[in-house]
């Protein structure tokens, strides 16, 4: 059985990600306090909570329109550079999938690859900079590889989730190129990047939710 993702499905994934982020307040805040301003959790939780609050409105839309509205919510509610990056990425994904009312496994890949490409361009970042890209980029590459190898959907999601986890963990040994951590003497080495960690939470939620829908 293939994957069919409606807007309602996508919002259920968002709710799962929002719940995970909400439950990690102390952990994420501690990570960010070590290398950043300590407000990453507050910003991310605010953005995802606002999306959940717009659930009923979003569910009435085709998925391309819903992605654009989510992008605007993120840009307005997350704030700072993360808001611009997430908001811009969702807006770009919505525009890329103009006319799509649902997504299949290739459509979900297009969503993720559009996100990472937009974030990299908008943020002038690439893998190894100790950012959210270090979780998202390997996840997208794992997705691409699984599609190329014609892996079954459950295996595909397992690969994607594992790649994001390893990517987030790899930031511990990276030197920060951007953000407050890049100005520290040790450039954040020894600490996980909170943006990569919350990105992993989202990818994990996405994979867990859609994997569970496959018979």
- Domain borders along the chain are 7-212
Work out the pLDDT band at 185, boundaries 50, 70, 90: low
Q: Are 196 and 178 in contact (CB under 8 A)?
A: no
Q: How far apart are the first and last CA of the chain?
A: 7
Residue 58 to residue 188: CA distance in whole angstroms: 38
Work out the pLDDT band at 163, boundaries 50, 70, 90: very high
Which letter does DSSP use for residue 78 in this model? T
| For range 133-153, the mean pLDDT | 97
Residue 61: Cβ-neighbour burial (10 angstroms; 0-12, 13-18, 19+): middle
Average pLDDT of the chain is: 93
The CATH topology of domain 7-212 is 1.25.40
Residue 112 to residue 101: CA distance in whole angstroms: 17
Q: What is the pLDDT of residues 51-80, one digit of tens each?
A: 999 999 999 999 999 999 999 999 999 988
């Amino acid at each position: 059985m293939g994957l069919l993702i409606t807007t309602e499905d996508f919002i259920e994934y968002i709710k799962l990600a929002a719940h995970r982020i909400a439950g990690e307040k102390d952990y994420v805040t501690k990570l960010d306090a070590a290398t950043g301003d300590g407000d990453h959790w507050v910003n991310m939780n605010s953005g995802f909570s606002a999306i959940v609050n717009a659930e009923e409105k979003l569910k009435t839309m085709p998925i391309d329109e819903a992605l654009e509205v989510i992008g605007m919510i993120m840009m307005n509610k997350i704030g700072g550079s993360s808001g611009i990056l997430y908001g811009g990425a969702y807006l770009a994904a919505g525009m890329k999938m103009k006319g799509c009312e649902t997504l299949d496994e290739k459509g979900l890949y297009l969503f993720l690859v559009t996100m990472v490409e937009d974030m990299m361009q908008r943020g002038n970042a690439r893998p190894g900079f100790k950012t959210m890209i270090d979780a998202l980029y390997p996840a997208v590459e794992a997705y691409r590889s699984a599609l190329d190898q014609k892996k079954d959907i459950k295996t595909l999601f397992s690969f994607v989730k594992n790649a994001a986890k390893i990517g987030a963990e790899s930031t511990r040994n990276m030197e920060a190129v951007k953000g407050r951590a890049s100005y520290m003497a040790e450039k954040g080495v020894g600490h996980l990047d909170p943006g990569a960690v919350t990105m992993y939470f989202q990818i994990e939620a996405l994979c867990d939710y859609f994997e569970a829908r496959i018979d």
